[in-house]
Amino acid sequence: MATKKIIIAFDLYGTLLSTESIAYELAKVYGAEQEATWKSLAALWRRYQLEYTWRINSMGEYKPFSTITRNALYHAVSEHGLSLSSEDADALMRSYDALHVFPEVPLALRLLDDDKYGDNNNNKSVEAYVFSNGTDEMVENSIKTSPELGPSAGRIFKALITVHSLQCFKPDKRAYEHLVRQVGKKGQESDVWVVSANPFDVVGARAAGLKAAFIDRTGKGWIDRLDEKRAPSVITSGVDEAIKRILKY
């Protein structure tokens, strides 16, 4: 008898790929000696990138994630009282195609690639997906050009699932319903796992009836208090450990 597939959807930006690494690209624009500035800019850019998606969701409107990301960059720059040329903005946007993974992700990829939890016929037990707010083009480019993800992504991930066709962003419930449909689990939402380092993503997945693993890289535990009944199914310090815990869940 074939092993039942475990469906795991991995968030991309902030979970597999580190958006913090973009700080070093900002250093090229604003000067390596201004470390406090470019580190602050990187954090603020990410903050407004996420905030803009939540705000536009609430407004019932939509702009592609690439547009949201560029606009958030200008917001962060302006808040620091700095300026940014269109050429530098273009270069910084291209840096999203060259983000590095978090340190434990290569091991997580090897776990998925090896997948020793399958059946005696070597059928893999895990069906892995990428599930992102990014546009199809943005996600494909980010993965393809990632030194760590690019070489094995086509072999490891069955598909890249984005919300672009929905015209909304996570944590809108429609995003998770879309994920469930795409992986063929409509009506079986609890069979689908979302792995994310973003608390809003975890809460959104749980609210939609999915299981969720929270990647707690700061070691603070689960401190989100929007809805205490929708805590993560699993909390780990890294993606590799999340995979191991899910397989034994």
| pLDDT per position as a tens digit, 174-199 | 999 999 999 999 999 999 999 999 99
- Find the CATH number of the domain harbouring 124: 3.40.50.1000
Both 110 and 172 in a single domain? yes
* Burial (CB count <10 Å: 0-12, 13-18, 19+), residue 249: exposed
SS3 of residue 203 by DSSP: helix
Q: Please report how the helices 65-79 and 86-94 are oriented relative to each other, as an axis angle in degrees rounded to 10.
A: 120
User: Is 144 found in the same domain as 82?
Assistant: no
Query: Count of domains in the chain?
Result: 2
Q: What is the pLDDT of residues 65-83, one digit of tens each?
A: 999 999 999 999 999 999 9
pLDDT score of 21 = 80
Q: 238 with 149, same domain?
A: yes
Does residue 166 sit in the same domain as residue 242?
Answer: yes
Helix axes 23-30, 35-59, angle to 10 degrees: 120
Q: Do 66 and 106 fall into the same domain?
A: no
CA distance 89 to 77: 10
Residues 109 and 207 in one domain: yes
Instruction: Report pLDDT for 4.
Output: 80
Shared domain for 11 and 24, answered yes or no, is no
CA 172 to chain centre: 15
Per-residue pLDDT of 20-71, as tens digits, reads 889 989 999 999 999 999 999 999 999 999 999 999 999 999 999 999 999 9
pLDDT digits (tens, 9 = 90+) for 87-130: 999 999 998 888 899 999 999 999 999 875 555 455 679 999 99
Contacts of residue 78, defined as CB under 8 A and 6 or more positions apart, other chains included, come to none
Look up the CATH number of the domain holding residue 36. Answer: 1.10.150.240
Residue 171: asked if its preceding bond is cis (omega within 30°), the reply is yes
How many angstroms separate the CA atoms of 108 and 111, rounded? 5
Q: Considering the entire predicted model, what is its pTM?
A: 0.94
In a shared domain, residues 185 and 228: yes
Domain that holds residue 80: 19-98
